[in-house]
């Protein structure tokens, strides 16, 4: 039942596969991420975050990608440590403590607004409490965060890998695309980049197998900083 709710949230996102279309070349977003710290830029992180939190549906793919990756330059970005808190939101939902999930999720999202998994947990809690307007709000954010990932590549090779800022987001993306991971391996790429290679099986039948690549460089760099 819990698994069905998670998949139902993803299926209702309705995102279509997309590519950059506003001037940032596919795969070159890293060269533009610094603009998220430039207060004179339209890509300035606080500006993008305000629009995102206000439910602005006009945010372009480029803006969503730089919102997501601009967040990784913030001091609160610590994906491996944050995973424990995200897990606690799902634990509340499993125990049917939905009000507690919403309270904890509200606090968590103040510091980590682009957390894909936390927003999904909020949708589940809102739906179970009948708070459908709030559910729609978080669903819209999930849709935009999925666009931010899918716009970074095709996932078919290291050079066109989907860029994620949290390793656990890989499995959310696979589920959204209709696949489940069967194996995972870490690949070191050129220029010091890090990739996860995931072999995946379609949920419609084991004969449909694909390999997906995820760029996890941001998360690995953060992990190294946390260790220091």
Rounded to an integer, what distance in angstroms lies between the CA atom of residue 157 and that of residue 176? 19
| CA dist list (Å): 113 to 82, 136, 177, 184 | 12, 16, 23, 28
Q: Could you read off the pLDDT of 148-186 as tens digits, one per residue? A: 999 999 999 998 999 999 999 999 999 999 999 999 999
Residues 6+ apart with CB under 8 A from 161: 152, 153, 155, 195, 213, 214, 215
Q: Is the pTM here over 0.85, yes or no? A: yes
> Residue 213 pLDDT more than 70?
yes
Select from 169, 154, 146, 166 the least CA-distant residue to 72.
166
pLDDT of residue 11: 55
CA end-to-end span of the chain:
41
Which residue reads 């954010």 in tokens?
Answer: 141
The number of CA neighbours under 13 Å toward the Cβ of 46 is 4
**SS3 assignment, position 196:** strand
Out of 38-52, 117-131, 157-171, 213-227, least confident range: 213-227
Q: Could you read off the pLDDT of 17-33 as tens digits, one per residue? A: 444 444 454 456 777 88
Select from 142, 176, 148 the least CA-distant residue to 162.
148
Q: Residues 22, 28, 29, 30: what is their CA dihedral angle, to the nearest 10 degrees?
A: -160
Mean pLDDT taken over the chain: 87
Q: Could you read off the pLDDT of 6-16 as tens digits, one per residue? A: 555 655 655 44
Rounded to an integer, what distance in angstroms lies between the CA atom of residue 214 and that of residue 212? 7
Q: Could you read off the pLDDT of 102-130 as tens digits, one per residue? A: 999 999 999 999 999 999 999 999 999 99
Rounded to an integer, what distance in angstroms lies between the CA atom of residue 118 and that of residue 116? 6
> Residue 193 pLDDT more than 80?
yes
Rounded to an integer, what distance in angstroms lies between the CA atom of residue 114 and that of residue 45? 12
Extents of the domains making up the chain? 2-227
């Amino acid at each position: 039942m819990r698994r069905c709710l998670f998949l139902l949230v993803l299926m209702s996102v309705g995102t279509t596969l997309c590519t950059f279309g506003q001037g940032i070349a596919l795969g070159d977003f890293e060269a533009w991420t610094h603009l998220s710290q430039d207060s004179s830029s339209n890509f300035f992180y606080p500006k993008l975050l305000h629009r995102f939190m206000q439910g602005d549906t006009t945010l372009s793919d480029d803006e969503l990608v730089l919102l997501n990756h601009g967040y990784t330059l913030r001091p609160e970005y610590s994906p491996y440590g944050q995973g424990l808190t995200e897990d606690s939101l799902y634990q509340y939902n499993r125990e049917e403590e939905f009000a507690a999930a919403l309270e904890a999720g509200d606090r968590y999202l103040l510091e980590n607004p682009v957390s894909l998994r936390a927003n999904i947990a909020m949708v589940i809690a809102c739906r179970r409490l009948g708070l459908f307007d709030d559910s729609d709000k978080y669903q819209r954010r999930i849709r935009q965060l999925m666009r931010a990932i899918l716009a970074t590549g095709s996932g078919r090779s290291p050079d066109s890998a989907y860029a994620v800022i949290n390793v656990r987001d890989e499995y959310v993306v696979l589920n959204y695309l209709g696949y489940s991971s069967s194996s995972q391996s870490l690949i070191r790429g050129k220029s010091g980049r890090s990739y996860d290679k995931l072999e995946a099986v379609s949920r419609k039948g084991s004969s449909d197998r694909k390999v997906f690549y995820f760029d996890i460089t941001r998360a690995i760099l953060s992990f190294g900083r946390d260790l220091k």
